[in-house]
Amino acid sequence: MFRTMCRRFARQTRIVSLGMLLVVPGYGRGQPQTAASSEVNGQVLTNAVTVDTNSRQAPLVLTLQDSLTRAKANDPQFRAALTELGLAHQDTVQSRAQLLPNVNYNMAFNYTQGNFIANSKTPAPAGRYIANNGVHEYIAQGNVHQALSPGMLAEYRRVEAAEALSRAKSEIATRGLVVTVVQAYYGYVVAQRKYATAQKAASEADRFLSISQKLQNGGEVAHSDVIKAQIQNQQQQRELRDALVEMNKSHLDLAVLLFPDFEQNFSVVDDLRLPDPLPGFVEVQAAATKNNPELRVALASLRQTDQEVKVAWTAMLPSVGLDYFYGIDANQFAVRDRNGFRNLGYAATATLQLPIWNWGAGYSKVKQADLRRQQAHVELSFAQRRLLADLRSFYDEAEASRTQLESLAQTAELASDSLRLTTLRYQAGEATVLEVVDAQNTLTLARNAYDDGQVRFQVAFANLQTLTGSF
């Protein structure tokens, strides 16, 4: 009846499931659980999630590296960090440009109301506004401008430090995204494994129910054994349905992370295996000291605040402006005027600005910048302490989860043998129904614990590499 309900549910929701995915025995010595329609260590797991059954297109096969590449293109937080880095780089380009001369072209025409000589209708050559050179004034000039001040160089160094800060933050975002993808990717892999385990457990429950019914018919066991087997069978069917729901949920979570158009027709490669031993803690500590982005963020913040203090001080120093003009500024738009004089020529100006009094605003800015610098010193010291603590904690977690994998694999293998032997003993009348049920549950728990241990190590290893980089 349960299978009939599953088929009806599949037609209604267009669910492509794993089918009859059977578990192959062999939970031992780092060999992960496999299935009849899937292989591991580089092979593809069958897609078992909600897709359109009318679609005949083969599912896209993704490795972990493929998933990381797609997540980098679609994750909004990671893209925001890259955008901040791009903006900081453009600030550096603009600040560097301010240190260099710039060239402009100015063209203008000024008209001024004319004036007349007293007691005469003869117009005067000058307009009524003494600031203008005549009734008509034509300006067509090229201008080379250069501003010089100590604050400009300090500002350039400040934006350089800000760019380094953004680059370190983008590295933090990259490593954080790796942890997220690893957790989602292997979470889906293990969800498929658990679904296969649930199928195998349901099959074992069906088989045991059939055995108990045959033994009852032969008068070898009581009816209570059949009832217990029926209860166990129903429980396994419910857990099978829960495993299917969890597998589909993890698939959808991964789809949201990887695809901009919510693509669901994809499968993943199960490459979980017994990992290599971790390098020594001294080697890991050296890598963390050299490659830790959190530490680089704190150092870049300190450099930036140092430059902010210098910028604030230089605002109270003199600044110089230089301008060179070449072109026409005359009453006629011509190279020569009516009298034959050349209108085309050059002029130059130099301006010195010396701050005298601003009611303490400049010194207040210096105090602000110095307060930020003191805070940056505190944050740098805390980042160094936090690095040492997190490094020890993450390393211990990775090492413990790596060590436990061998034990979990052996436990799963022993649980499989225990179920086989207990079932044989039950058929021979030497074991009770409770022992068989307990062996079935123990096997399911052992297999799931092994799969969870695999994910635990992968996530712990990714967390460790957020501090150290790849090694």
| 17 has pLDDT over 60 | no
| 301 has pLDDT over 90 | yes
Per-residue pLDDT tens over the stretch 202-242: 999 999 999 999 999 988 888 999 999 999 999 999 999 99
| 47 has pLDDT over 50 | no
The rounded distance, in Å, linking the Cα atoms of 297 and 348 is: 46
pLDDT score recorded for residue 2: 38
Say which range, 31-45, 231-245, 345-359, 376-390, has the weakest mean pLDDT. Answer: 31-45
What torsion, rounded to 10 degrees, do the Cα atoms 191, 193, 195, 196 define? Answer: 170
pLDDT score recorded for residue 40: 36
The answer to whether residues 350 and 171 touch, using CB atoms and an 8 Å cutoff, is no
Q: Which residue has the higher pLDDT, 41 or 316?
A: 316
Strand order from edge to edge, sheet including 43-44: 43-44, 266-270, 60-62
Q: What percent of the chain has pLDDT over 90?
A: 63
**Owner of token pair 């605040």:** 305
Say which range, 11-20, 272-281, 443-452, has the weakest mean pLDDT. Answer: 11-20
| 15 has pLDDT over 70 | no
| 26 has pLDDT over 70 | no
The rounded distance, in Å, linking the Cα atoms of 253 and 256 is: 5
In the predicted model, what is the mean pLDDT of residues 409-426?
Answer: 94
In the predicted model, what is the mean pLDDT of residues 74-92?
Answer: 93
Of 409, 98, 127, the closest CA to residue 273 belongs to 409
The answer to whether residues 448 and 197 touch, using CB atoms and an 8 Å cutoff, is yes
| 52 has pLDDT over 80 | no
pLDDT score recorded for residue 45: 45
Q: Which pLDDT band holds residue 21 (cuts at 50, 70, 90)?
A: very low
DSSP per-residue letters across 163-193: HHHHHHHHHHHHHHHHHHHHHHHHHHHHHHH
| 56 has pLDDT over 80 | no
Per-residue pLDDT tens over the stretch 107-125: 988 888 777 666 666 666 6
| 434 has pLDDT over 60 | yes
Q: Enter the pTM of the model.
A: 0.75
Q: Which pLDDT band holds residue 274 (cuts at 50, 70, 90)?
A: confident
| 5 has pLDDT over 60 | no
The rounded distance, in Å, linking the Cα atoms of 363 and 369 is: 10
Strands, E, within 237-359: which ranges? 266-270, 319-330, 344-353
The rounded distance, in Å, linking the Cα atoms of 121 and 350 is: 42
| 9 has pLDDT over 60 | no
pLDDT score recorded for residue 389: 94
> What is residue 107's DSSP assignment?
E
| 25 has pLDDT over 80 | no
- How high does pLDDT run on average in the chain? 84
| 378 has pLDDT over 90 | yes
Residue 398, H or E segment: helix 361-427
Could you give phi then psi for residue 108, rounded to 5 degrees? -155, 160
Identity of residue 466 = T
Per-residue pLDDT tens over the stretch 156-188: 999 999 999 999 999 999 999 999 999 999 999
The rounded distance, in Å, linking the Cα atoms of 320 and 333 is: 32
Q: Which residue has the higher pLDDT, 133 or 159?
A: 159
